[in-house]
Structure 1
Amino acid sequence: MSAVKGLELTNRSTNSRDGHEPARSSVNGLSDDQELIRLGKRPILKRNFGFMSILGFSCTVLITWEGVLVGGPAGVIWDFLIVWTGTCSTFATIAELASMAPTAGGQYHWVAMLAPYSVRNFLAYVTAWVTVAGWQALSASSAYLIGTIIEGLIILTHPNYAPKPWQTILFFWAVVCFAVFINTVTSRALANFEGVILVLHLFGFFAVLIPLVYFGPHSNASVFVEFLNEGHWPTQALSFFVGLPAPVFCLLGADSAVHMSEEIQRASVVVPQALMLSLVINGVLGFAMILALMLCIGDVEAALGAIKTLGYPFLEIFVQAVNSVTGACLMAGLIVALGICSTVGGFAAASRMLWSLSRDRGTPFWKVLSRLDARTSIPIYTIGVTTFISMLLSLIILGSSLALVNITSLTVAGLYSSYLLSTGMLLWRRTTGVIKPHSDAITDLGTSQLCWGPWRIPEPFGTFNNVIACLYLVLILFWSFWPQETPVTPSTMNFSVLVFGGTVLFSGVWYFLRARKHFNGPVMEIEL
């Protein structure tokens, strides 16, 4: 099939499928379906997301202001600023890649495009699996986080309540079931759901911030220069850097919009815009909430002590601020509601990432997992696998909650390593000058055909930003493997390096033993 004929046939079949309206034209002259075809992919997912709905999706997956927790006052403030700046730099680079190739595969697809041919498949396979593992861990950790906050609220209202592991699992499962319900039964309304949640995300911020600032005790500006060393590290500087990855969790998952690319109208432009705007919105709201918490913290010792009693310091800070358990529960209830909604987006992104890898024959049982539901055109099987993995991980709580935390700590290492591989490859290619200016010409995975998308940072700022992003990612990855306190014991050890190393080792060994026989990078479903 010729390139032009392939484009025409796919447009006719897609536009008439299930009565679905034709894909809107992209700003570069190609339709959304043609954008996928030029990358060798068949457009089979419905594009239900527009700019506002995917912005809401991205903002609610991030839930930055909701995820801000209490640490050393100055450390939290300055760590957050460093992480926010570095994350913006990273995703400005990711946005360039998403504009070049807006596919659900995201990072591993880009690595396959940019890496040297001799190691292209291997690096793409490893990148794919650390990304899949990171998103599966993020989905499970989100459900666990919300479940334990619910338990903290129960303890706040009933101090004699002592949560048992099986109760924690039930809360975990309840959050998962809600996420699955929205992603399957009401999947057609997922885009509208995310748009509504964006409004709640913004409204909830002011509903929590105003009473906290108005009624809470006010500290002085010393929070900007007071550093706590709760981990008992030899120096304050070392304590600062060990705590640097903590704010990462508040800005993690911005690539969720990337993995929904094949369901977004005008994806090559809308995805980069949504990525950057969601980081700006969430960063501003998150920083404002940190300042409010630090300036209204009241009794610092009581807040830190709440880690052992309530699980989360912000619950005690809310009580001190409004002097009412009921008021504190209402404020925290908003955070719980938004956290549950965040899990919905997390499950959607995780399932799309797994589906994309299955489509490219990179998973066991890929023939089954790559199928879509005939009625809704959603990857129903990978949603089921994501649900099964989360529920299976939750059973670890029966033995040790610490073990589950160590497994879900793979989130930062998995996702950040995939970002580093993608941005590193882009930096290499852009410095060698092989990426051509943006055009509407048909391209494939060959480096001779690489061209920029419609969204790009002009030079020399693009290269400079790319370098900053790589340095930031290396910094965070290095410190993310450190334990949070000394002396290091089995209960305080950070096992993320073991979990991450095991994932990389397994994917590498499995690739050479079996996967290399059938995984050849992103499959060219349409020959150009």
Structure 2
Amino acid sequence: MSKEEEFLDRPWAGPTTTATATSVTLTANGGSSRSKSLDDDAYLQRLGKKPRLNRSFGFMSILGFSCSALLSWEGVLVTSVPALLNGGPAGVIYGFLINWAGTISVYTVLAELASIAPTTGGQYHWVAILAPESCRNFLVYITAWLTTIAWQAMGVSCGYLTATLIQGIVVLANPSYTPTAWQTVLLLWAVMLFAVVINSTTSRALARVEGLVLILHLAGFFGVLIPLVYFTEPHNDPQMVFTTFINEGGWSTQALSFFVGFPTLASSLIGADCAVHMSEEIQSAAVVVPRALMYTVFINGSLAFAMIIALMFCLTDLEAALGASQTMFYPFLHVFYAAVGSTTGACLMAGVVLVLAIASSVSLYASASRMLWSFSRDRGLPFSQYLVRLSSNNLPVVAILATLTITMVLSLIALGSAVALSAILSLVIAALYSSYLLVCVLLLWRRVTPGGIQPHISGSDIIDLGYLSWGQWRIPEPFGTINNVVAILYSIVLLFWSFWPQTTPTTVETANWSILVFGGVVIFSVVWYFVRARHFFKGPIKEV
């Protein structure tokens, strides 16, 4: 037995379910849950991984899981008003549409890859399958680091947003209250502890909760949209909404200003790939995960676009809304109050957003901990032998607690510098889209290489580092290749503009420090790989 097998086969690794079938035809519909689990386990074994987690998620529960993590229409309430400074109402609307189209393109590529290899590792496992052997191990390691850190930063981001939203609602209800940094940190910890408790119950309970969250996500949208539109008087003129561009960032041209504000809107469409990192807990994952990705981005994009249109028509006093961000953190709280003319009504509307933000933290923590667990399973992190441990009900509780610890430590930065914490939070777009860009480029390379990807043959898939076949879900050619190119171009554009500051001339407070944080992460991972990791990290370990 190899060292890797010995490492993963220790008793503390948790009970496993071994599928005895050597050739199983995967189906999206029909059959009992047990037969579906066996099908998925056989598929996972052909990817070289032992089934260790319980498959409790079906399509509707994982759709609710993804929708709550994406937090689209709720997110645009946060991002749209600041984005008005670089772009104006028309810039926000058209910028969101471009981002939505680009996100659909990127997630379509991810859906194709998720159907080929539905594993918790996601991007880094796909890189292992797609990359040339000469640089495979290095690219796998860098991708795994970027994805792991991005999800950890996303957990902190959601916690900070939720904590400051709570404080903003308190200010709205009681203007004499003055928020402090230490209160923000404590509230963040409380929200994340709640996420840990829910994630540490059972995967079946988590799946049921996410199904309910999907209903709340849809109902809450109308609960906010209808009173916002109905009570606001007067509405802005359509010509002003769809044709007015603003350049308050001091940039030399309106086009430059538009692109500077472009990445802000993209942040409200990040997180749908959380379903990928739950793949080993989903029934019929090779079909359900791609469908969940696409349904999520279409549903949430539609809701977010409708909310942006409503917000642009109802935002009649931009200066007052931006001024309110100095006391209430988020301008949309002032927009709610100005619309309904009632503190209670505005607080209730904001409460809906708050509840969904808390639900989002549960989903994000689940995905972040699974990514941490997966990377540890392949011996890529310090203390991997502890992080890979499972509880008696097959949950990665140690990885969940490690994620909580990382969140609590990073949140302490807010006590010293809000600018430094903002740099950590802005890492999400750069790190995630770097991993997306890499897998998109590698898939395109395989696509245009004759024989690079074999046709899908149900029941006889063999997937390893030397053979690759399409999954059950893919875009037919030539549309698949065209979409692949579009996804690459969009990722490059978004990455480039994500490092720009929002205003010029730039000061220490207004600088975009994400390039520094992102560069530091990349340099550290590269140096650590050549100094230490290349001696023990061999990509995804083949357990079976």
Tell whether the 8 Å contact from 2:463 to 2:469 is kept in structure 1 after alignment: no
Is 1:25 the equivalent of 2:25? no
Is 1:60 the equivalent of 2:106? no
* Match 2:179 to one of 134, 159, 163: 163
**Aligned match of 1:423:** 440
Q: CA deviation at 1:57?
A: 0.3
Is 1:39 the equivalent of 2:47? yes
Tell whether the 8 Å contact from 2:120 to 2:276 is kept in structure 1 after alignment: yes
For the residues of structure 2 that align with 1:286 and 1:513, how far apart are their CA atoms? 45
Tell whether the 8 Å contact from 2:55 to 2:281 is kept in structure 1 after alignment: yes
For the residues of structure 1 that align with 2:294 and 2:204, how far apart are their CA atoms? 26
For the residues of structure 1 that align with 2:322 and 2:150, how far apart are their CA atoms? 29
Tell whether the 8 Å contact from 1:429 to 1:435 is kept in structure 2 after alignment: yes
Matched position secondary structure for 1:31: helix
**Aligned match of 1:4:** none
For the residues of structure 1 that align with 2:396 and 2:293, how far apart are their CA atoms? 23
Tell whether the 8 Å contact from 1:24 to 1:265 is kept in structure 2 after alignment: no
Q: How many equivalent pairs are there? A: 507
Q: CA deviation at 1:517?
A: 1.1
Once the two structures are overlaid, the 10-residue window that deviates more, 58-67 or 155-164, is: 155-164
For the residues of structure 1 that align with 2:332 and 2:111, how far apart are their CA atoms? 33
**Aligned match of 2:498:** 480
**Aligned match of 1:219:** 236
1:209-265 per-residue CA deviation (whole Å, 9 max, x = no partner) reads 000111112111111111122212111111100000011111111110000000000
For the residues of structure 1 that align with 2:162 and 2:248, how far apart are their CA atoms? 25
Tell whether the 8 Å contact from 2:20 to 2:42 is kept in structure 1 after alignment: no
Using a 3 Å threshold, how does the CA distance of structure 1 residues 206 and 22 change in structure 2: closer, same or farther?
closer
For the residues of structure 1 that align with 2:202 and 2:341, how far apart are their CA atoms? 40
Q: CA deviation at 1:442?
A: 4.4
Q: CA deviation at 1:270?
A: 0.2
For the residues of structure 1 that align with 2:258 and 2:415, how far apart are their CA atoms? 34
For the residues of structure 2 that align with 1:86 and 1:296, how far apart are their CA atoms? 27
Q: CA deviation at 1:31?
A: 0.5
1:472-518 per-residue CA deviation (whole Å, 9 max, x = no partner) reads 00000000000111111110111100101111111111111111111
Tell whether the 8 Å contact from 1:102 to 1:262 is kept in structure 2 after alignment: yes
**Aligned match of 2:465:** 446
* Match 1:393 to one of 410, 423, 427: 410
Q: CA deviation at 1:165?
A: 1.1
Tell whether the 8 Å contact from 1:114 to 1:426 is kept in structure 2 after alignment: yes
Matched position secondary structure for 2:506: coil
* Match 2:400 to one of 383, 393, 398: 383
Tell whether the 8 Å contact from 1:55 to 1:278 is kept in structure 2 after alignment: yes
For the residues of structure 2 that align with 1:63 and 1:114, how far apart are their CA atoms? 31
**Aligned match of 1:185:** 201
- The one-letter code of the counterpart of 2:423 is N
* Match 2:113 to one of 72, 97, 105: 97
Q: CA deviation at 1:307?
A: 1.8
For the residues of structure 1 that align with 2:246 and 2:151, how far apart are their CA atoms? 32
For the residues of structure 1 that align with 2:356 and 2:463, how far apart are their CA atoms? 40
For the residues of structure 2 that align with 1:393 and 1:151, how far apart are their CA atoms? 20
**Aligned match of 2:306:** 288
Q: CA deviation at 1:187?
A: 4.5
Matched position secondary structure for 2:212: helix
- The one-letter code of the counterpart of 2:120 is A
Is 1:412 the equivalent of 2:422? no
**Aligned match of 2:8:** none
* Match 2:153 to one of 121, 125, 137: 137
Aligned pairs for 1:48-127 (under 5 A) are: 48-68=56-76, 69=78, 70=81, 71=84, 72-127=88-143
1:121-148 per-residue CA deviation (whole Å, 9 max, x = no partner) reads 0000000000001000000010000111
For the residues of structure 2 that align with 1:506 and 1:410, how far apart are their CA atoms? 15
**Aligned match of 1:16:** none
Unaligned runs of 5+ in 1: 2-8, 14-20
TM-score (norm 2): 0.91
For the residues of structure 1 that align with 2:383 and 2:318, how far apart are their CA atoms? 52
Tell whether the 8 Å contact from 1:219 to 1:298 is kept in structure 2 after alignment: yes
**Aligned match of 1:241:** 259
Q: CA deviation at 1:87?
A: 0.2
The alignment-based identity, stated in percent, is 60
Aligned pairs for 1:434-473 (under 5 A) are: 434-439=452-457, 440-447=459-466, 449-473=467-491
The root-mean-square deviation of aligned C-alpha atoms, in Å, is 1.5
For the residues of structure 1 that align with 2:248 and 2:271, how far apart are their CA atoms? 28
**Aligned match of 1:154:** 170
Tell whether the 8 Å contact from 2:53 to 2:394 is kept in structure 1 after alignment: yes
Matched position secondary structure for 1:525: coil
Tell whether the 8 Å contact from 2:57 to 2:204 is kept in structure 1 after alignment: no
- The one-letter code of the counterpart of 1:359 is R
1:181-214 per-residue CA deviation (whole Å, 9 max, x = no partner) reads 1001354400000000000000000000000111
1:425-474 per-residue CA deviation (whole Å, 9 max, x = no partner) reads 00110010310000232424223x10000000000000000000000000
Once the two structures are overlaid, the 10-residue window that deviates more, 322-331 or 438-447, is: 438-447
Tell whether the 8 Å contact from 2:162 to 2:191 is kept in structure 1 after alignment: yes
Unaligned runs of 5+ in 2: 2-16, 22-31
**Aligned match of 1:505:** 523
Aligned pairs for 1:246-257 (under 5 A) are: 246-257=264-275
**Aligned match of 1:17:** none
Matched position secondary structure for 1:245: helix
Matched position secondary structure for 1:118: coil
For the residues of structure 2 that align with 1:369 and 1:141, how far apart are their CA atoms? 22
Is 1:11 the equivalent of 2:22? no
Matched position secondary structure for 2:47: coil
TM-score (norm 1): 0.94
Q: CA deviation at 1:157?
A: 1.3
- The one-letter code of the counterpart of 1:366 is S
